[in-house]
Structure 1
Amino acid sequence: MAYRQTDKVAARLADTRRSILDAARGLVAEGGFAAVQMSEVAKKAGVATGTLYRYFSSKEALCRHVFREVSAREMGKLAEIASGDEAASERLVKVLETFAGRAVQGRRLAYALLAEPLDVNLAEERSFFRRTHAEIFAGILEDGIENGELPKTDVRIAAACIAGAIPTALIGPLAPESHELDSNPDRVVAEIVKFCLAGAGIAAPQTQQKTTERRKTA
């Protein structure tokens, strides 16, 4: 008789896998992908190292899953904001503030996702991550142009420029050795938002909600 996995066993396996991913994500948030060592992940997850390899064949496979999962969560938040009912310019501001603001809030994890040197497989994940960001921005710009709210522009190029400008601007402030975010992180976010809005032909609003408020609702 073929073995049939019971619901209880399936739930236990899923819980173990979740514990492993959470442990690896915690290590990335503390010290980047370089800090992910299989023995340390196993220790934090409460499993034997041999058990860990039953779920993920290598450190690279585990890191790729962590990268993909965290990236998908962040992109989902931005996509949800972008699909709202507000004017295009308002949605653009919210997406920009959320993107940059959440990166500043979780700076070590964000640095790992946006800037840490990676192997080929993770570099591919990062490229997909940025292309998806560009698609989110392109959708907002298209909406604004269609309803006459935003000036006509090459949407794809403008969206790619915005998606590339944010991580580029954040690399320095997010770097582990940097102290730029220690005193006034909201200023960094505000400058990024202002620059990206100008690139889309939109004047920065006179009064923006505080980044901390935006992050709470994200």
Structure 2
Amino acid sequence: MAYRSTEKTRAAQAQRRAALLTEATALVASGGFSAATVKAIAEKCQVSVGSVYSYFDGSADLLAAVFRVGADQELAAVRAAVDNADGAADRLRALVETFARRAIKGRQLAWSLLFEPVDPRIDAERLTYRASYHALTTEILRDGMASGEFPPQHLEVTAAALIGAISESLTGRLSPTHAVTADSTDDARTVEAILRFCLHGIGFVGHDNPASSATPIEGTHR
């Protein structure tokens, strides 16, 4: 009985911790990391501030955990879209479009995950997730080169350049100072422009893609 009680206690603690992270992530999605204070999280969950701290080793640990929750769900969505696509070119399209569309739709969360100044712990987490996107992009490029869809190029450099282009091209769009509009056409044009740049940048020319009329990049190398 004592063993079962311990397992139940652990399960209950894990559930309460998950509930705290859910509320904290919602606060970040609506107002950024600055809105996810321990006091605000405690009020949302109707618990004491001390109770919140019992599940995390300080506010920096809490924010890092919140970052991982948000970053995990975005990375999972991108990976699912990539896995459901056929061929390297379509997989790259899926990566670019899914990342950009989700960022624009949930721009406060995207801004916080990508750019908001917070804590050195968050910067370290960003590097970890950037490495995950880099690995995924490198895999797509390698497959595209092997199949002949993409011309030979430096995998690591090209993957890093694509990731940087996608995120940096969204900076102004995601900024809290950017005026929000309900113009979905403008959103679509933004995503298409990013996709066109990425496809052009790797020298891909297809029959049914936004960069079909672009001239391949010269001087690429392995």
TM class, shorter-chain normalised? 0.7 to 0.9
Relative distance call for 1:180 and 1:44 in structure 2 (3 A) is closer
Letter in 2 for 1:200: I
Aligned in 2, Cα 1:173/1:181: closer, same or farther, shift over 3 Å? farther
Q: 1:197 aligns with which of 185, 196, 199?
A: 199
| 8 Å Cα contact 2:25-2:69 kept in structure 1 | no
Which residue matches 1:144?
144
Confirm or deny: 8 A CA contact 2:149 2:204 kept in the other structure.
no
Distance in 1 (alpha carbons) for counterparts of 2:162 and 2:200: 10
What is aligned with 1:186? Answer: 188
Q: Report the CA distance shift for 1:74/1:57 in structure 2 as closer, same or farther (over 3 A).
A: same
* Residues 1-218 of structure 1 mapped to structure 2, 5 A cutoff: 5-84=5-84, 86-179=86-179, 182-183=182-183, 184-203=186-205, 206=208
Distance 1:148 1:204 in 2: 12
User: Matched residues in 1 for 2:161 and 2:127: separation?
Assistant: 14
Alignment partners' CA distance in 2, 1:138 and 1:80? 16
Displacement after TM superposition at 1:204 (Å): 6.8
What is the CA distance between 1:205 and its match in structure 2?
6.2
Cα distance in 2 for partners of 1:119, 1:6 equals 35
- Residues 161 and 107 (structure 1), Cα distance of their counterparts in 2 relative to 1, 3 Å cut: same
In structure 1, distance between residues paired with 2:36 and 2:195: 33
Q: Which ranges in structure 2 are unaligned for 5 or more consecutive residues?
A: 211-222
| Kept in 2: contact 1:82–1:136 (CA 8 A) | no
Task: Give the Cα–Cα distance (whole angstroms) in 1 for the partners of residues 21 and 85 of structure 2.
Answer: 35
Task: Tell me the CA shift for residue 85 of structure 1.
Answer: 5.9
Relative contact order, higher structure (CA 8 A, sep 6+): 1
- How many aligned positions are there? 208
Tell me how far apart the structure 1 counterparts of residues 199 and 53 of structure 2 sit (CA, whole Å).
46
CA positional deviation for 1:187: 1.4
Q: What letter is aligned with 1:143? A: D
Q: 1:181 to 1:201 in 2, by over 3 A?
A: farther
Letter in 2 for 1:53: Y
Structure 1 residue identity aligned to 2:8: K
SS at match of 2:54: helix
- In the TM superposition, what is the alpha-carbon distance from 1:57 to its structure 2 partner? 2.1
TM-score normalised over the length of structure 1:
0.87
Q: Indicate the SS of the match to 1:6.
A: helix
1:55 counterpart letter in structure 2: Y
Unpaired stretches in structure 1, ≥5 consecutive residues: 209-218
Change (3 A) 1:11 1:205: farther
Q: Structure 1 residues 139, 56: closer, same or farther in 2, change over 3 A?
A: same
Q: Percent identity?
A: 36
Distance 2:176 2:207 in 1: 31
Could you tell me how far 1:207 is from its partner in structure 2? Answer: 6.2
